Amino acid sequence: MASRESSVTNGDSSASISPYDCIFEGCQLPVCLRSETMDEEEWPMAEIISKKCDSNGQWRFYVHYNSYNKRLDEWVTADKLDIDHIQLPRKESKSQTSTAAAALIKNTSRAVSPDVTISGASSPLPSSGETVISSSRRSSVALGRKRKNENDNSSEPVGGESSPAQLPPQTGSMHRPIGTHASDDVVTRMKNIEMLELGRHRIKPWYFSPYPQELTTEPVIYLCEFCLKYMKSLTCLARHRTKCNIFHPPGNEIYRKDTISFFEIDGRKNKAYSQNLCLLAKLFLDHKTLYYDTDPFLFYIMTEYDEHGFHIVGYFSKEKESSEDYNVACILTLPCYQRKGYGKLLIEFSYELSKIEGKTGSPEKPLSDLGLLSYRSYWTQTLLEVLINMKNQEDETIPFVTINELCEQTSIRKDDVTSTLQYHNLIHYYKGQYVISLSNEILEHHERSMAKRKIRIDPKCIQWTPKDWSRRGKW
């Protein structure tokens, strides 16, 4: 693959003639990609989102690798571009979205009878089948939601240091709302915060979040790890900490076991915290729209305790009233804590709350690529746990179970139960009824996975009574 050295030494970034005039927004070309997890460099096709010339005359191009998630988008120098294979933008290519999640979404609507039998017979598992998330629409809801009138700007950010007038566009959506200008789209498609310091962690953001403009030029922004207020310097943070005396998130601690706690926060009562949390979360959530009205949401913050306080690990939000029975709106494990089982702990907690409510629930769709992996893994492990327990209890006979019973025991919604069973090819139609068969392979895989799942939610440690929000005049 050809690569080109940048021989440009034009120090004037405002010069009207650039040697890279032929490379502009919307062009596609192979770009050298070498991520931390890759041994060798690759040259996938990428789209030019923007370009700039820095004070040294070095041209940089912001690229999106077409078949990769946007969190890999980055500024690259000209030598990483294979200019020989450039393709000019086609008109329709502007509207294309190419997230990994979108590529995974497929509609399947195979009906499954509610009555099934579990048998010990083996089947070729697990299959490499496809996902059965049934919706590919992009969510317009999430971190906070605008109510009733979408154009109502009455809810304003109160948590940070800036007024809303200083903020970039107030939707953090990655798709362009009707009537907005193309340049807004370019702004929100690019990461705008270089680095984040939160307690003892430095975290590299994945996506755009509408932090005030003046913070976007700082090499690092600093967040108070307890109230999540954002600041542009360590000095500001130190000054802030002399006034901010909290060592845990606001709200009620509704769970504590060992070092793990959960705090419930009402988006109406703790608006500043909720808005700061949403701004932070947006840095890692691509497919959700950010609005400033957090009133309709509850936020469940998971913390880890040490002698310095209760440190935020992740959270999920939940609508006070969900017409579609969603039990999670957004879910996030901060990157410094990811892939350690905390995501599944958050998911488990959300289903424990649903069990207390006596409801089934489901996460709001569409899921992100990582959201889908985590939920599918949780659903699989939870259903297998129930099925294996049933089988162990009834050694001689083949146990019978209905899909509804599985839903009741787990609080997982019916479509998620059936899609999980289908995904792993566990359910078959046999002699007039549905049969779930668990192969040795899947049983062994499950045993290994459960051995790794060290931290679990202990339902006895939850101190929480659900509120009936529909009976309240106001959230």
Interface with ligand ACO (CB under 6 A): 284-285, 328, 330-333, 338-344, 363-364, 367-368, 370-371, 373-374, 377, 449
Q: Which is nearer to Zn ion, 238 or 244 (CB)?
A: 244
What is the smallest separation between the CB atom of 246 and Zn ion, expressed in angstroms?
6
Least gap, CB of 161 to Zn ion (angstroms):
12
Of 368 and 437, which has the nearer Cβ to ligand ACO?
Answer: 368
- What's the N-to-C CA distance of the chain in angstroms? 59
Beta pairing partners, 317: 299
Please count the other Cβ atoms lying within 10 Å of the Cβ belonging to residue 73.
22
The burial of 179, by beta-carbon neighbours within 10 Å (0-12 exposed, 13-18 middle, 19 or more buried), is given as exposed
Which among 402, 85, 135 is positioned nearest to 287, based on CA atoms?
135
Interface positions, 195-224, toward Zn ion (CB under 5 A): 224
Decide: helix, strand or coil at residue 63.
Answer: strand
Which among ligand ACO, Zn ion, none contacts residue 383 (Cβ within 5 to 8 A by kind)?
Answer: none
DSSP string for residues in 268-299 = TTTHHHHHHHHHHHHTT-SS-EE-S--TTEEE
Nearer to ligand ACO, 176 or 365 (CB): 365
Residue with smaller CB distance to Zn ion, 67 or 233: 233
Q: 3 near 79, Cβ under 8 Å? A: yes
Residue 333: strand pairing partners? 314
Shortest Å, Cβ 342 to ligand ACO: 4
Contact 424, 125 (CB under 8 A): yes
Residue 364 binds what, of Zn ion, ligand ACO, none (CB under 5 to 8 Å, by partner type)? Answer: ligand ACO
Q: How far apart (Å, rounded) are the C-alpha atoms in residues 144 and 275?
A: 8
User: Which residue do the tokens 């006895």 mark?
Assistant: 460
Show Cβ contacts of residue 101 under 8 Å, excluding neighbours closer than 6 positions.
Answer: 69, 287, 366, 367, 368, 369, 371, 372
Active-site annotation holds for 352: no
224 binds, among ligand ACO, Zn ion, none (CB under 5 to 8 A by kind): Zn ion
Would you list the DSSP string of 401-431?
EEHHHHHHHH-B-HHHHHHHHHHTT-EEEET
Beta carbon of residue 286, minimum distance to ligand ACO (angstroms, whole number): 8
Q: Find the shortest distance in angstroms from Cβ 37 to ligand ACO.
A: 9
Residue nearest to ligand ACO as judged by C-beta position: 343
Beta carbon of residue 225, minimum distance to Zn ion (angstroms, whole number): 8
DSSP 3-state of 214: helix
Which candidate in 253, 348, 364, 444 is catalytic? 364
**Which of ligand ACO, Zn ion, none binds 331 (CB below 5-8 Å, type-dependent)?**
ligand ACO
- Residues 34 and 42: their CA atoms lie apart, in Å, by 6
- Residue 227 interacting partner from ligand ACO, Zn ion, none (CB closer than 5 to 8 Å by kind): Zn ion
Q: Which does 85 bind (CB under 5 to 8 A by kind): ligand ACO, Zn ion, none?
A: none
* Residues within window 233-262 making contact with Zn ion, judged by CB under 5 A: 244
244 binds, among ligand ACO, Zn ion, none (CB under 5 to 8 A by kind): Zn ion
Q: Give the shortest CB-157-to-Zn ion separation in angstroms.
A: 16
Among 190, 196, 198, 227, binds Zn ion (CB under 5 A): 227
In the numeric block, which tokens belong to residue 198?
A: 């939160």
Distance of alpha carbon 387 from alpha carbon 405, whole angstroms: 11
Output the DSSP codes for 356-378: HHT--BEEPSSPPHHHHHHHHHH
Residues forming the active site: 364
The contact set with Zn ion (CB under 5 A) reads 224, 227, 244
